[in-house]
Amino acid sequence: MTIQTIILLVLVPLLIWRVYARLKKMMARQRSVMSRHYTGLLVFTAMVLVPGSELVGQPASLAWLAVGAAAGIAYGVFGLRKTRFEAAPDGYWFTPPMRLGMLVGLLFVARIMYVGLEIYVNQGTANVLPRFTDSPLTLIVLGLFAGYFGSFSAGLIRWRYRIGIGGS
């Protein structure tokens, strides 16, 4: 075993622990800030549209991305039904369902780490690495992640406008 492999074996669990801790904090009670919701909607929509524009000539890959995004949107709508919304004197708050968001977030991180591991293992070999958009599983996970958090952001915007305070 090389020193790089040993360091990788030590750092990967640390990275997983930090990602888990960060996601756990993000799934707690949060203040509803409209600019964050709009930014989330914009970023997660772009996460589907950018790879989608690359896949116009590959209908099967585009379909995998669309399936993932549709599943993510459905999962996000389900998550919004489980979200607790609060209009308190000190502001507007929401508490997302922790398990749903953690599952989607960790699945995405796991897939990214797998792609990184694949790159690490194949470095220095003659193997040609596939493009990011060549893997159906990666496209499904990307679509699921972006669809879930994008629809969640859209749902939060909708909630704020429905209670009549969309501008603040």
Q: Could you give the CA distance from residue 66 to residue 125 in angstroms, rounded to a whole number? A: 33
Instruction: Give the tens place of pLDDT for each residue, 71-95.
Output: 999 999 999 999 999 998 998 999 9
Instruction: Give the tens place of pLDDT for each residue, 22-61.
Output: 988 888 999 999 999 999 999 999 999 999 999 999 999 9
pTM of the predicted model as reported, rounded to 2 decimal places: 0.88
Record the tokens describing residue 131, joined without a space.
């493009």
Gyration radius from the chain CA atoms? 19
Domain ranges in the chain are 31-122+129-162
CA 137 to chain centre: 14
